Every structure is written in structure tokens, then in C-alpha cells.
Amino acid sequence: MSKLVLRNLSRTFGSFTAVDNLDLTLNEGELISLLGPSGCGKTTTLRMIAGFIPPTGGTIEVDGKLVSSPGSCLPPEKREMSMIFQSYAIWPNMTVAENVAFGLKLRKIDSAEIKRRVGEILEVVKMGALGDRYPAELSGGQQQRVSLARAIVVKPSVLLLDEPLSNLDANLREEMRFEIRRLHDEFKITMVYVTHDQAEAMVTSDRIAVMNKGRIERIDVPYEIYRNPKTRFVAGFIGRTNFIDGRLADGQVHFPGFSIPAESLQSDTPLGSEVYVSARPQSIHLHREAPAAAAGRCCVAGTVQLRAYLGEYWDYHVMLPGASEALRVTARPQEVFEVGTQVQVEIDLTQLTVLV
């Protein structure tokens, strides 16, 4: 069943179009991330869903009921939604338990029921022993857990999250990504999650909507978004990749330094004379000697131009003959090649993605 539906949603500010005829449907209990760079329209979309700003075109429906249109906008407090902000927005003069109870008190819930529900949710977010502490006594991760607890305890129809982890350090961000996913799986709340961090979106989401210039450029499950990005923008925004431009002639696609049979490229549409592909760094392997020929593989000589050891892997830049840009290659820690070394570059053709 559709929980939240955005139809032809638009928002302009003067002559600037922030959101441009956007369509999006969330099913009951689904978590969708709006992912994109600054200025792509993701936060504006979230604020329209929340009711903070009205759309200039299109509609928003929740459970089949119209809540936003250019001529009518239901106030935020009547939408049965909760929102978690980047700044946590928890009251510094209230204890953890009082912060979590705040929304329940506004709803005039019985005090015994408030105490029970606050106690339960604090245990769920692993803050049960810290109910009497004040925000100043908590770490950033603990404050975000309080914010999550406060938002979930009121049992919202839709939970909105606006870059909730951007103020945390790298280790805490990684921990809280999994925490948000765990809480979603436990409570089955419909969530819209705004972020510019692709790893965050990959961990937390059922589906990812990649936004560009006010539109959704690609929406799918995380695995498909990464494996088959379809466009140059999505391929570059989701993870690291190599863009390789080639030309189709006589059944072969000719790239700088190597050529491959056209039929080895999987594409939803016929190839044109100009062919653009994405090659993820982990789909390319380096060897000291040319490996045995294998179906779906292409091998070409190259030279290691730069390298960086990142603990879990090596990041190599390898230049092919006739190429203007080096290929990025991810290699295991034990695969050590010095700068200037001549190597055999093996490309897995099954992992090349044709882009439009």
C-alpha cells in the first residue's frame, strides 16, 4: 500500500527551480533516501513533505489524503510526522527522559503511559541507564540517539531525517547508520532520509533516489544503483569509478589503449558511434605477467603512475598507452607495485556499465 505519494511536485524561489516535477511513491514501512549534492533539491523536498513550505506545483498525499498542494497546505503539527534535524534540536534544560517525553506530553498522553513508553524506547536505543542525564553530559552519538527516541516514541506516520549524522565523527557516523537501519527494521516506520553521503544511503535505505538539479535521476535498490547507475552523474556520485570514452567501429569498441568486442558490453539500448562506460576500480586487476586469456576479460599493458596505501586496500593510478587520464584501481594490501612499474591491467568486461 502507498503511504506517501509525491506527484509532479515542484518548488520555485523566484526564477530558481529547486524541485522540478518530482514523482515519488513510498510504500508502507519503506525507507527511501534522497541522495545528492548541495542544491539538488533534496532538503526542499523534505521540507515540503513536512509542511514547512508549500509546493508551487503538484501534490503530496499521505494514506491517500491530500496534505499539500499549491492552494492548500496542512500544517506540520497536523501531519502526524516526526522530523530529526542535523543539529539534534534537543532541549538543553531537560533530561534525556524529559526530552523523549516532550512530544507525548503535548499529545496529552496519560503520565503512566508516558513513563512506560519512554522507558521502553530508551532501552531500544541503548540509553536506558542515562534517562536522568542532561544533553551537555552526552556524546554526539548519544544526543542523536535521544533525538531518534523522541521522534519514534510518538509513533509517527512518517519519519523525516535531514542529514542527521553530518555532525558526528567518522566512527560514530558508521555506528549510527546501522543503528538507524536497526530501528527502522524494528518499528517498520516509513522514513524519508536526506543525505549527501552515499555510504549512509547505501547502508540505511530500501531504495535510493539520486537527485540532480531538482529531479530524480535514478531510483532503485542500493545494489542496482551502484552496479547499474545508467547515467554519468549517478555513476560518479555513487562510489568511485573510471569514465572511459570509446568509439564503435566494425563491431569493436575502441578505447584508449585497448579494444573489445561490442557484444561484450551489456546495454539496454543499441550502442551509438560514441560509447561511454563506467569501470569501478575493483573491477580492474593488476598483474606482473599477463594472465591466461579468459572469456569476459581484457588485458592491456600499463604503468603505475601513483599509489596510496589505505590499510584495507591499495589505490593505484595506472596509465594506459594513448590515454589522457589514469585508471583508478583498487588492489588488496598484499598486491604491491612500485610507482613506475610496468603492469598487466586486466579489466572485467562483465562489470563495465554503458552510460547515457
Architecture of domain 241-355: Beta Barrel (2.40)
CATH class of the domain at 2-236? alpha beta
Q: Rounded CA gap, 173 and 165, in Å?
A: 6
Q: Rounded CA gap, 345 and 305, in Å?
A: 13
What's the pLDDT score for residue 269? 80
- pLDDT of 268 strictly over 90: no
Kindly report the pTM of this predicted structure: 0.90
- pLDDT of 1 strictly over 80: no
Q: Where are the alpha helices (DSSP H) in the chain?
A: 42-50, 96-106, 111-124, 140-153, 170-187, 198-204, 222-227, 232-237
Q: Rounded CA gap, 159 and 190, in Å?
A: 6
Q: Rounded CA gap, 20 and 8, in Å?
A: 8
What's the pLDDT score for residue 144? 87
Higher pLDDT, 340 or 91: 340
Strand 81-84 versus strand 72-73 pairing type: unpaired
Closest CA to 356 of 268, 251, 250: 268
Q: In which band, very low, low, confident or very high, does the pLDDT at 247 lie, cut at 50, 70 and 90?
A: very high
Task: Report pLDDT digits (tens) over 281-293.
Answer: 999 999 999 999 8
Which neighbouring-strand residues pair with 348? 297
Residues contacting residue 79 through CB under 8 Å, at least 6 positions apart:
50, 51, 62, 67, 157, 158
Q: In which band, very low, low, confident or very high, does the pLDDT at 38 lie, cut at 50, 70 and 90?
A: very high
Question: Taking a C-beta distance cutoff of 8 angstroms, is the pair 253, 259 a contact?
Answer: yes
Strand 2-13 versus strand 16-27 pairing type: antiparallel
What's the number of CA atoms in the CB half-sphere (13 Å) around residue 150? Answer: 27
Placement of cell 535521476 in the chain: 217
Backbone phi, psi, residue 266, to 5°: -90, 125
What's the pLDDT score for residue 334? 96
**Domain map (residue ranges) of the chain:** 2-236, 241-355
Backbone phi, psi, residue 223, to 5°: -60, -45
Residue 152 burial (10 A CB sphere; 0-12, 13-18, 19+): buried
